[in-house]
Amino acid sequence: MPDERHSRSSVDDPPYRVYRAGGRSTDYEIPPPEQRPAGDGGRAAGGGARGAGGSRARGTAPPYRVYRGRRRILNALLGPGEEHELPAETRPRRTRPPWRRREGARVRPRKKLTPGRVLKYLALAVVGWLLLSVVLFIISAQTQQVPLPSSASAALTPGGNMLTSANTILILGTDQRPRTGPGSKEPGANYNVAGSHSDTIMLWRVGGGVSRRLSIPRDTVAQIPGHGVGKINAGFAIGGPALAIKTVEHFTGIKINHVIVVNLARFPPFIDAIGGIDVRTERVCANIAGGTRNGGFTLNLKPGVHHLNGLEALLYARIRENPCNPADSDLTRVQHQQDILNAIKSKLLSVGTFFRLPWASWDAPQVLESDMGGPTLMTLFAASEIGGSAPVKVLEPTGAEYLPGYGDSLTVTPQVVHSAVHQLVDG
């Protein structure tokens, strides 16, 4: 006996029931194939129409019902939702295979790539790159930076926020040499911080829109607290950063808020990390530490702008005697050092350095030893950018004398010191 489910004709299809809001329901019967409109699967064109009295003709498809979201209390008061007819031509457009598209899902058009959207994405990438550099700098400053002795921190006078108020920072560059690599074989090289001399002594007044610097020659005669008269750079050799701070304060009469000790042995890698610097020089043909024949270095430069790598920048900062320019001395050396600092600052703002910024941010804290942590150092760099490039100012000596135990030294009158400090502080 044949199966009734397969032998029953479409005329015998059972009616289907549509349930409406409020519990009402209506039965509909599917008409025979010969009575169905072509292409509508048994539905009347336009979705069918209601007969007189609101009843629907048999054989027509019910309209689609759209329920709007509202509270049950409002439904009870305002009645059921509205009925709308859905035209056959308003069917969702398929943009992906049917087996991956949800039935009735709305297809969102793909956004066009406009110049404004490109600039937006580019700005987000730049901000993200800068934030990455800041994070790396702070992490490196907290983990890689050489800690400053507690005695040096105790010798400092607290200052304000450098974004709003000016602070005085003492920058010291030591003559410490690396144990391996370039400079390690120099005659008389000092490998330890203890006993190192501060070849570079610079006061930096920065913050609140101010940026001014004053370099003090290392052979300047000064009173070293507790140790009598000597060259000003002997303060660091005798008592480290703490005594150097006290010596400079006694010599200038101003309080030091922060200190930065630059290890020249670690200076070249940082210069290389930012891609080198551009410095305008005079004619240079100098032998440093005896020249290359004696384990030192030789630097030859023509007049003009030169792109210096880390080692060349360090050598240029150390030149005291230059046969090609007999006027070079300890005074011109401190000018070279300030030129290098200005060149570093300019390079940090260049487009080329932008792509190297994360690496430079990681290396920078390892070059220095300071009481300032990562956030304070970031404030210092921001304040220096606001203040602009500081002019080169060197404390000019007024005389010279032979100092027992120290050799030839430079002297400066108190009036000249007072005038230079006044210009540093007040402009």
Question: What DSSP line would sit under 173-199, residue for residue?
Answer: EE-B--SSSTTTTSTT-B-SSTT--EE
Residue 169 has pLDDT above 90, yes or no: yes
% of residues, the chain, pLDDT over 90:
27
State how beta strands 146-147 and 368-370 pair.
parallel
**More confident position, 51 or 60:** 60
Predicted local confidence at residue 270, as pLDDT: 84
Residue 51 has pLDDT above 60, yes or no: no
Residue 410 has pLDDT above 50, yes or no: yes
Q: What is the pTM of this model?
A: 0.66
Q: What is the pLDDT of residues 65-112, one digit of tens each?
A: 555 555 555 555 555 555 555 455 555 555 555 555 555 556 566 777
Give mean pLDDT, residues 43-59.
48
**Residues 210/401, Cβ–Cβ less than 8 Å:** no
Q: What is the pLDDT of residues 194-231, one digit of tens each?
A: 556 678 899 999 999 999 999 999 899 999 999 999 99
Predicted local confidence at residue 412, as pLDDT: 95
Alpha helix segments (H runs only) across 253-329 = 267-273, 310-318
**Residues 241/194, Cβ–Cβ less than 8 Å:** no
User: Would you list the domain boundaries of the chain?
Assistant: 128-426
Give mean pLDDT, residues 333-343.
84
128-426: CATH topology is Aminopeptidase (3.40.630)
Residue 165: pLDDT band (50, 70, 90) is very high
